[in-house]
Amino acid sequence: MTRPLYCKMVKYRMTSKGTDGSEIYWDGRHYDAFNAPVHDDLKFYLAQARKARGPVLELACGTGRLTIPLKKEGIAITGLDQAAPMLERAKAKAAEAGLKIPFQLGDARSFILDRKFKLIFMAFHSMQHLGRREDIEGLFASVARHLAPGGRFVLDVFNPNPHCLVRDPEEMLPVAYYRDPDGGGKILVNETYSYDKAAQVSRITWHYRSEKTGKTVKKSLNLRCFYPEELLALAHYNGFSVAARYGDFRGRPFGGASGEQILILAVR
């Protein structure tokens, strides 16, 4: 399976809404099953962490999809996320692997930790959960407070695709197929998509259909779009300069056709 279009997960039990109303982070096991095929960013973030030569903080670390492999490579890493079910899963996986990783429940917009980092990163489009100007200001201010001298802040977000933004909201497209960690057989995830032009937010619904029971559970996912010049302006007016800008995780330069916007930022 190829990299899913958006980060994922399924549901059956409790629902905890994220700070932007997204409902998909209720169970880290489903998140991991859904995202098992996603690896294309790991090498990139490992290279950034090695280059930093110091402590690393991953914001919105989720289930430790990146945090844990980085720790295995000897990186001194801390993970922070606002979703308790995601962190529980991250902690369980780290314990199973015999790794000591500080996982912290917290909000990327307002966190306070007692140490500074040479690298802070926010991967897998997680910044797109921060929809309002105040959210972004809080994020950049919190990052700036926690960066050691010469430190870098690295983030990736989608490059908005005009073809997606005009999708028919009635159109249902398949996005993933995975095995239910609760033993319910295969789960097929379909997606409906509607673009909120005023808020610049992709309002997505994932429909998780259990092959075994035939039941479908719906969960919302909101992803704020950042247009390329807007993202640069937000970084600039929040006190950061761009050290590098890429269009994919192989390090190709950013261009209009790039799928990703990857920024390496430094405090000005």
Ligand X SMILES: C[S@@+](CC[C@H](N)C(=O)[O-])C[C@H]1O[C@@H](n2cnc3c(N)ncnc32)[C@H](O)[C@@H]1O
Residue ranges in contact with ligand X by CB under 6 A: 7, 18-19, 25, 60-62, 65-66, 81-83, 86, 107-109, 123-126, 129
User: For residue 10, what is the DSSP state?
Assistant: -
User: For residue 204, what is the DSSP state?
Assistant: E
**Nearest Cα residue to 193 out of 168, 218, 212:** 168
Residue 5 carries which side chain, given as an amino acid letter? L
Could you tell me the smallest distance in angstroms from the CB atom of residue 74 to ligand X? 20
Residue 124 vs 178, nearer CB to ligand X: 124
Residue 113 vs 183, nearer CB to ligand X: 113
Is-contact 111 141, C-beta < 8 A? no
DSSP states of 211-267: TTT--EEEEEEEEE---HHHHHHHHHHTTEEEEEEESSTT-PBP-TT-SEEEEEEEE
Residue 21 vs 253, nearer CB to ligand X: 21
Residue 45 vs 240, nearer CB to ligand X: 45
Residue 27 vs 150, nearer CB to ligand X: 27
Residue 38 carries which side chain, given as an amino acid letter? V
Could you tell me the smallest distance in angstroms from the CB atom of residue 213 to ligand X? 27
Name the phi and psi angles at 163, rounded to 5: -65, -35
Give the per-residue SS3 of 148-169.
EEEEEEEEEEECCCHHHHCCCC
Could you tell me the smallest distance in angstroms from the CB atom of residue 124 to ligand X? 3
Residue 105 vs 233, nearer CB to ligand X: 105
| Torsion of Cα atoms, 215 then 37 then 3 then 232, to 10° | 110
